Copies of this chain bind each other. A is one copy, B any other.
Amino acid sequence: MLKNSEFVSKLRNSGLRPTKQRLKICEVLFNRDKTFHFTINDLAKNISKNFNKKISLATIYNTVHAFKDKGYLKEITISSDKSYFDTNITKHHHFYDEDTNLLIDCNDNEIGKVNIKNNITGKKISSVEVLVRVASDYQNQN
């Protein structure tokens, strides 16, 4: 639950001008108790419902990518045609419910630490992501 003035600093601190559009998108994304997952399409719909002034789709794309680059969002790719963004930027893993197409955050109680015994020589690990796909019992298994 952040205030408008906090979003202004947040944006300024990372070199982004605090425009009306960016502040509105901050409000929609970060003025909440819980983190959540969304697609660009979800966000665009949300804004058009809850904001009297229209924000151009191009601006929504630009802003989401800027926020991702600045580390305010993480992108989670489920399949080539489904890309989600996550306002939870801490290290964590996901369940993906194939019945409902919903992403669910895992916490450390649910998935233990991934044990990487060997890495590629000369390389540094930049991230470790686990995706657990789940479906109802009666569904076809992949």
A16 to chain B, nearest CB (A): 18
A58 within 8 A of partner (CB)? no
Complex CA distance for A110 and B109, rounded to whole angstroms: 23
Residues of chain B with a CB closer than 8 A to A95's CB? 119-120
Residues of chain B with a CB closer than 8 A to A104's CB? 120
Specify how many copies of this chain sit in the oligomer.
2
> What are the interface flags for A42-83 relative to B under an 8 Å C-beta threshold, 1 for contact and 0 otherwise?
000000000000000000000000000000000101111001
A33 within 8 A of partner (CB)? no
> What are the interface flags for A109-142 relative to B under an 8 Å C-beta threshold, 1 for contact and 0 otherwise?
1111011111110111111111111111101011
A98 within 8 A of partner (CB)? yes
Q: Check A111/B119 contact, CB under 8 A, given A124-B137, A129-B130, A133-B125.
A: no
Residue of B nearest to A104 (CB): B120
CB–CB B134/A119 < 8 A: yes
Residue of B nearest to A68 (CB): B142
A6 within 8 A of partner (CB)? no
CB–CB A124/B136 < 8 A: yes
CB–CB A77/B78 < 8 A: yes
A115 to chain B, nearest CB (A): 3
10 contacts between A and B (CB under 8 A): A95-B119, A110-B117, A110-B118, A111-B114, A112-B114, A122-B136, A123-B136, A126-B135, A127-B133, A128-B132
